[in-house]
């Protein structure tokens, strides 16, 4: 009996082991069979000229380049194939079969033709990135659950689908296409942080829900009107009443006479009122003109309760003569002057190493940024020369300087106001703010456009930035970079704060502040790239280890483990590793080993197009 029990127990144990092995074996081999076949059909039917798509059909699809599955590996969650050399139309009945797909990125290829109609089956899709292709036709119908859309720089035509208005969008980029018709009103814009429909053929009035976005988001549509563009004209005047008016033949002569007398009285009263108003306006004009002549001018230093220590400065009167005015730059004309800035409502944007910045909103609704410089050592002639040079710079990734003010006691810079804030606040958040996660595509785009702006600064003005850091990388509504606070080092003394910014200074600048150069800018830009990759600030890294550790040294010690968990593990490791390799070249301790900015831009563009291989997946012959 005992032997029977032992045998029964042994048999049960073998059964459990067998079942467990079968289950584990099933799980280890689990993969989305139907989704895999759809991907095989896709890659076998589309032309591609790059070797980056290395799909071994004998291995699970979840291990393929650009393919990310859910945690149970039962369906394809993301398909990311940016810049891999895909050519021609997207084959139908392929991607449209990935019914549970959440993220689709086919950007920066050479895709053409219309989007297949079966894309409407992708009801779970949340992010669609098709920018920088040659795709034509109408926008795909049925994609009602999207949060992020970027189909810019294509050849889409037809109307923007009305269904977009019901989506809860975070970004919508449709610029540089051929869309026509009216812009549908987006009902919920609370989460919408990036919007651009510029350079299309759109017509009609801009919906009120979208009027908060800047003029650049709508420019290039000649028949578009309404805030923030000029108001729509050609309104049909109200028609007169259709009820018949009394005529002399139907009205008595007595009544007709009374109407004429009343009209005469009304005209006389109107003339008298108009004369009185004219006299009142003339009185106010001469009184104001007399007050202007009696009072000395004061600089436009908007005060705010947030900066009580400086608020009294607005009441300080400059003992300067009337020659001190705003000097406008770049040969452009603007409709405001010094007094308009004085009257403007102000909001403190922040205090930096070179001074305090304000947002000033003029009476006509225009917003500009005003920076009040401190500790300026340059004399007026040197200041004028440098600002005239910087004021000529016009590039989409460099903040435009509009004007400046120079007096003995005050130096002010007026520039374009960039509403989305800085890369630092977008990447790391600010006190009391809730930030949206930044995906890798957005981070890469910010890094690339910041590099283009810095390269243009080096070539156009032939002057170093001198204070490159994430605080000075401002973000436009289209989530591209616009570098600010540039070319100011020569205006300050050697002890001024810009050279004491920790974490971004090249080793040679740490030793001697006057050694700011193009190559020291490259070092600082490399640190910004490391911020984008790691999600950490230089100060945050310094608190992780021994005294004196900086972001480049920390990244070098942990390498790929430094990637920000917010973006890592989502099929973008190869691009991130390639950018990491470039960033480490930028932060070389020896100045001569760092690349030039044109080389940095070129390498980033190669990463975008898939030509620059990462160390995780080198080309043949590379190490």
Enclosing H/E stretch for 111: strand 110-113
**Domain for residue 404, yes or no?**
yes
pLDDT in tens, 165-208: 888 888 899 999 999 999 998 877 777 878 899 999 999 999 98
Q: Which of 225, 243, 258 is the last residue of a domain?
A: 225
Residues 483 and 391 in one domain: no
Higher confidence at residue 109 or residue 23?
Answer: 109
Does 35 score more than 70 pLDDT? yes
User: What pLDDT is attached to residue 243?
Assistant: 37
Q: What is the mean pLDDT of residues 482-500?
A: 70
Does 281 score more than 90 pLDDT? no
**Domain for residue 300, yes or no?**
no
**Domain for residue 78, yes or no?**
yes
Does 290 score more than 70 pLDDT? no
Please report the sign of the dihedral spanned by the C-alpha atoms of residue 439, residue 443, residue 449, residue 452. Answer: negative
Does 286 score more than 70 pLDDT? no
Beta strands in 468-562 (DSSP E): 473-475, 481-483
Residues 452 and 582 in one domain: yes
Does 95 score more than 50 pLDDT? yes
Give the lowest-confidence range in 17-31, 237-251, 256-270, 460-474. Answer: 237-251
User: What pLDDT is attached to residue 542?
Assistant: 54
User: What pLDDT is attached to residue 502?
Assistant: 65
Enclosing H/E stretch for 547: none
Does 535 score more than 90 pLDDT? no
CATH of the domain at 344: 3.30.200.20
CATH of the domain at 477: 1.10.510.10
pLDDT-derived band at 261 (thresholds 50, 70, 90) equals low
Q: Which of 179, 205, 225 is the last residue of a domain?
A: 225
Residues 475 and 372 in one domain: no
% residues pLDDT > 70 (the chain): 73
User: What pLDDT is attached to residue 566?
Assistant: 82
Residues 402 and 426 in one domain: no
User: What pLDDT is attached to residue 288?
Assistant: 53
**Domain for residue 252, yes or no?**
no
Q: Which of 173, 205, 225 is the last residue of a domain?
A: 225
pLDDT in tens, 44-93: 888 876 556 778 888 888 888 888 888 778 889 889 888 778 888 999 99
pLDDT in tens, 439-449: 888 899 999 99
User: What pLDDT is attached to residue 55?
Assistant: 82
Q: What is the mean pLDDT of residues 127-137?
A: 91
pLDDT-derived band at 269 (thresholds 50, 70, 90) equals low
**Domain for residue 219, yes or no?**
yes
Does 529 score more than 90 pLDDT? yes
CATH of the domain at 41: 3.80.10.10
Residue 345 tokens, joined: 């409502």
Residue 615 tokens, joined: 């160390």
Residues 341 and 453 in one domain: no
pLDDT in tens, 154-174: 999 999 998 888 888 888 999
Give the lowest-confidence range in 202-206, 494-498, 550-554. Answer: 494-498
Cross-strand bridge partners of residue 401: 415
SS3 of residue 263 by DSSP: helix
Residues 412 and 430 in one domain: no
Does 322 score more than 50 pLDDT? no
Does 621 score more than 50 pLDDT? no
User: What pLDDT is attached to residue 264?
Assistant: 64
Higher confidence at residue 353 or residue 306?
Answer: 353
**Domain for residue 477, yes or no?**
yes
Residues 112 and 39 in one domain: yes
Task: Report which of 462, 463, 483, 342 is spatially closest to residue 400, judged by C-alpha positions.
Answer: 483
Residues 218 and 336 in one domain: no
Residue 400 tokens, joined: 């435009």
pLDDT-derived band at 32 (thresholds 50, 70, 90) equals confident
User: What pLDDT is attached to residue 225?
Assistant: 92
Q: 496-512: buried (b, 16+ CB within 10 Å) or exposed (e) per residue? A: bebbebebbbbebbeee
Q: How many CB atoms are located within 10 Å of the residue 327 CB?
A: 15
Give the lowest-confidence range in 150-159, 279-288, 571-580. Answer: 279-288
Q: What is the mean pLDDT of residues 28-52?
A: 78
Residues 150 and 185 in one domain: yes
Residues 517 and 558 in one domain: yes
pLDDT in tens, 349-408: 877 767 888 888 877 677 889 988 887 878 888 888 888 888 888 888 999 998 888 888
Residues 48 and 171 in one domain: yes
**Domain for residue 39, yes or no?**
yes
Q: What is the mean pLDDT of residues 409-433?
A: 80
Domain carrying residue 396? 324-417
Task: Report which of 479, 483, 474 is spatially closest to residue 437, judged by C-alpha positions.
Answer: 479
**Region label for 447, one of left (φ > 0), alpha (ψ between -120 and 50) or beta (otherwise):** alpha
**Domain for residue 9, yes or no?**
no
Total number of domains in the chain: 3
Residues 443 and 558 in one domain: yes
pTM of the entire predicted model: 0.52
Check: CB of residue 85 under 8 Å from CB of residue 47.
no
Does 336 score more than 50 pLDDT? yes
User: What pLDDT is attached to residue 528?
Assistant: 93
DSSP code per residue over 359-391: EEE-TTS-EEEEEEE-SB---HHHHHHHHHHHT
Average pLDDT, the chain: 76
Residue 356 tokens, joined: 């305090």
Q: What is the mean pLDDT of residues 576-597?
A: 90
**135 φ, ψ to 5°?**
-75, 135
């Amino acid at each position: 009996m005992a032997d029977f029990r032992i045998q029964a127990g042994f048999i049960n144990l073998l059964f459990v082991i067998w079942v467990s092995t079968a289950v584990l074996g099933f799980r280890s081999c689990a993969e989305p069979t139907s989704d895999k076949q759809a991907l095989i059909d896709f890659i076998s039917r589309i032309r591609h000229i790059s070797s980056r798509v290395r799909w071994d059909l004998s291995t699970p699809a979840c291990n393929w380049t650009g393919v990310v599955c859910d945690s149970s590996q039962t369906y394809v969650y993301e398909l990311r194939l940016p810049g891999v050399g895909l050519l021609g139309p997207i084959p139908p009945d392929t991607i449209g079969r990935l019914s549970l797909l959440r993220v689709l990125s086919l950007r920066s290829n050479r895709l053409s033709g219309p989007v297949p109609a079966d894309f409407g089956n992708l009801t779970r899709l949340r992010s669609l990135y098709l920018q920088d292709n040659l795709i034509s036709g109408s926008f795909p119908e049925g994609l009602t659950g999207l949060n992020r859309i970027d189909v810019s720089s294509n050849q889409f035509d037809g109307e923007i689908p009305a269904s977009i208005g019901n989506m809860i969008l975070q970004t919508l980029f449709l610029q540089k296409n051929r869309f026509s018709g009216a812009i549908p009103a987006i009902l919920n814009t609370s989460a919408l942080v990036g919007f651009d429909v510029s350079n299309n053929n759109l017509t009609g009035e801009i919906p009120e829900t979208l009027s908060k976005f800047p003029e650049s988001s709508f420019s290039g549509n000649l028949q578009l009107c309404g805030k923030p563009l000029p108001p729509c004209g050609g309104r049909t005047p109200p028609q007169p009443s259709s009820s018949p008016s009394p005529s002399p033949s139907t009205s008595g002569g007595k009544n007709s006479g009374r109407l004429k007398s009343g009209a005469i009285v009304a005209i006389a009263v109107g003339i008298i009122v108009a004369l009185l108003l004219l006299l009142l306006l003339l009185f106010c004009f001469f009184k104001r003109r007399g007050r202007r002549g009696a009072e000395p001018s004061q600089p436009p230093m908007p005060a705010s309760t947030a900066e009580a220590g400086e608020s009294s400065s607005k009441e300080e009167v400059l003992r300067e003569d009337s020659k001190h005015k705003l000097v406008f730059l770049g040969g452009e004309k603007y409709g405001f002057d010094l007094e308009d800035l004085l009257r403007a409502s102000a909001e403190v944007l922040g205090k930096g190493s070179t001074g305090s910045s304000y947002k000033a909103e003029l009476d006509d609704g225009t917003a500009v940024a005003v920076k009040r410089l401190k500790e300026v050592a340059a004399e007026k002639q040197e200041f004028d020369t440098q600002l005239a040079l910087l004021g000529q710079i016009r590039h989409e990734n460099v903040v435009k300087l509009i004007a400046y003010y120079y007096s003995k006691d005050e130096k002010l810079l007026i520039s374009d106001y960039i509403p989305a804030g800085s890369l630092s606040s977008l990447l790391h958040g600010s006190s009391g703010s809730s930030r949206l996660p930044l995906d890798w595509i957005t981070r890469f785009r910010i890094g690339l456009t910041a590099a283009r702006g810095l390269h243009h600064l080096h070539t156009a003005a032939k002057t170093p930035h001198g204070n490159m850091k994430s605080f000075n990388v401002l973000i436009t509504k289209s989530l591209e970079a616009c570098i600010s606070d540039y070319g100011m080092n020569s205006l300050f003394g050697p002890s001024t704060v810009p050279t004491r910014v920790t974490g971004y200074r090249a080793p040679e600048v740490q030793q001697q502040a006057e050694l700011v150069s193009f190559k020291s800018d490259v070092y600082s830009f490399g640190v910004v790239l490391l911020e984008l990759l790691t999600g950490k600030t230089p100060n945050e890294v310094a608190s992780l280890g021994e005294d004196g550790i900086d972001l480049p040294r920390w990244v070098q010690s942990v390498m790929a483990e430094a990637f920000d968990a917010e973006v890592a593990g989502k099929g973008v490791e190869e691009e991130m590793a390639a950018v990491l390799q470039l960033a480490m070249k930028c932060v070389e301790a020896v100045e001569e080993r760092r690349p030039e900015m044109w080389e940095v831009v070129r390498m980033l563009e190669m990463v975008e197009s898939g030509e620059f291989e990462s160390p995780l997946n080198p080309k043949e012959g590379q190490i």
